[in-house]
Amino acid sequence: MSTVQRYELAREMYKKIGVDTDAAMEILKTIPISMHCWQGDDVAGFEGDGQLSGGIQTTGNYPGKARNPEELMADIDKALSLVPGVHRINLHANYAIFEDGFVDRDQLEPKHFKKWVKFAKERGLGLDFNPTYFSHPKASNASLSSEDEEIRTFWINHGKACIRIAEYFATELNSPCNVNIWIPDGFKDIPADRMAPRRRLKDSLDQILSIDYDKKKVLVAVESKVFGIGVESYTVGSHEFYMNYAAKNDLLCLLDNGHYHPTESVADKIPSMLLFFDKVALHVTRCVRWDSDHVVLFDDETKEIAKEIIRNGHERVILALDFFDASINRISAWVVGMRNMQKALLNALLLPNEKLAKLQENRELTELMMLQEELKLYPVGDVWNYFCEMNEVPQKEDWFEEVRKYESEVLSKR
């Protein structure tokens, strides 16, 4: 049976439960996912030795990682060619391209990202941005919460520089740029003063955001974390800190589902955030026992997050991925993660969400459980394959042949 025939059967099946598969695919096509550039080179960037710090780790030594902008851009192209729809690229500041001499992070300017803008423009992609407060000698103790005023000023200036660069992205690409602030600051052991570093972080953020910038073009988010490697006892940028800071200053709160206690559900946090904020930003990742940043799977956690995105209005969620696996082919990692996020969104779009909500409202909980379970085996895969065909990307596992070929022709020669 052809993909189209299978799709037609699936369409009828979904129609019987009141779900319009064509409409679901139309919506899916419009949901951009910000693909993180840092999966392509293990968060190394282009500044120097690429030594990663800040309590995050890539493990593995799979051959073929991108070593320069040209290789990273080529790898991004390859990955995106295997993902349906038009997406965004999420850049970190340590991916600046120095054509006329190196400058430190406090001196970064739009010109250091000119090549990225050209790359994005030619492909119709939006760009998002992240200041890089790790992998730097001045971040060995702390960054925006530093007790050393010279160090803190350096990082404040980095934050300001990044806002200017983000505004340049938004203007050039005619698409708002999400700037996400994450810092690794914290303590390995029990601190004596939990307040002072947070007071300094608050002041640093105030200073960064005091510059004049267009708030319609630059959407600033703050990302909390529960702990990092080497900073297990105390994190300055905790959830409560950032949620309050974001609410008071009309910023976005970014929820990374690797950044909470393992039994906490980010899916459950989404509607709560959306009752008090216009939008919420996400880093979708996979946490295996800790914030391990494994590749996103089509698993229950991702599916639950996707349901909340769809049920509460996808246009209110700024969706980005965040993982870095160096133990497998890095392009495959991107493609698996991106396609799985989309599959999870499609799965959510193909649920009779109104009917399910009504069953809950009417407390018909027996039927609700039964239906939610039966829906799990509906033919979402047939709709997904048709969606891939319609968007001219390989369906099922067929895309992997392309990755294998790229590995033998390009990656293996690096």
Has 225 been annotated as catalytic? Answer: yes
Residue 106's φ and ψ, nearest 5 degrees, are -75, -10
Find out whether 294 and 323 touch, Cβ atoms under 8 Å: yes
- The enclosing H or E element of 3 equals helix 3-16
Q: Which of 90, 99, 79 is nearest to 38 (CA)?
A: 90
Least distance to Mn ion, CB of residue 285, Å:
6
For residue 269, which phi and psi values (nearest 5 degrees)? -80, -25
Q: Is 92 a catalytic residue?
A: no
State the Cα–Cα distance between residues 327 and 323, nearest whole angstrom: 12
Name the minimum Å distance from CB 330 to Mn ion.
18
Helix (H) and strand (E) counts for the chain?
Answer: 14, 12
Residue 113's binding partner out of ligand L2XQQQDX, Mn ion, none, with CB under 5 to 8 Å set by partner kind:
none
- Segment near Mn ion (CB under 5 A), from 23-31, 164-172, 190-198, 314-322? 314-322
Q: Does 256 bind Mn ion (CB under 5 A)?
A: yes
Q: Would you call 291 a catalytic residue per the annotation?
A: yes
- Indicate which residue of 42, 128, 167, 223 is catalytic: 223
Q: Provide, rounded to whole angstroms, the least separation between the CB of residue 367 and ligand L2XQQQDX.
A: 40
The C-alpha atoms of residue 380 and residue 21 are separated, in whole angstroms, by 10
Nearest approach, Cβ of 170 to ligand L2XQQQDX (angstroms)? 20
Contact between 283 and Mn ion per CB under 5 A: yes
Which residues have C-beta within 8 Å of that of residue 180, sequence separation ≥ 6?
A: 128, 129, 130, 220, 221, 222, 223, 254, 281, 283, 320
DSSP annotation string for 210-230:
TS---TTTEEEEEE--S-BTT
- Residue 56 binds which of Mn ion, ligand L2XQQQDX, none (CB < 5-8 A, kind-dependent): ligand L2XQQQDX
Is 314 among the annotated ligand-binding positions?
no
Residue 322 appears among annotated catalytic residues: yes
| Nearest of 350, 323, 327, 326 to residue 337 by alpha carbon | 323
Footprint of ligand L2XQQQDX (CB under 6 A): 38, 43, 56, 130, 182, 223, 225, 256, 283, 291, 322
Catalytic residue among 41, 128, 293, 407: 293
- For Mn ion, which stretch binds (CB under 5 A), given 1-9, 16-24, 70-78, 252-260? 252-260
Binding mask 68-107 for Mn ion (x = CB under 5 A): ----------------------------------------
Residue 287 C-beta-side C-alpha neighbours within 13 Å = 22
Which H/E stretch holds residue 129? strand 126-130
407 near Mn ion, judged by CB under 5 A: no
DSSP 296: P
* Least separation in angstroms between CB 184 and ligand L2XQQQDX: 7
41 is in an annotated binding site: no
Active site residue 259: yes
- Active site positions, annotated: 182, 223, 225, 256, 259, 283, 291, 293, 322
Residues flagged as binding site: 259, 291, 293
- Where does this chain bind Mn ion (CB under 5 A)? 256, 283, 322
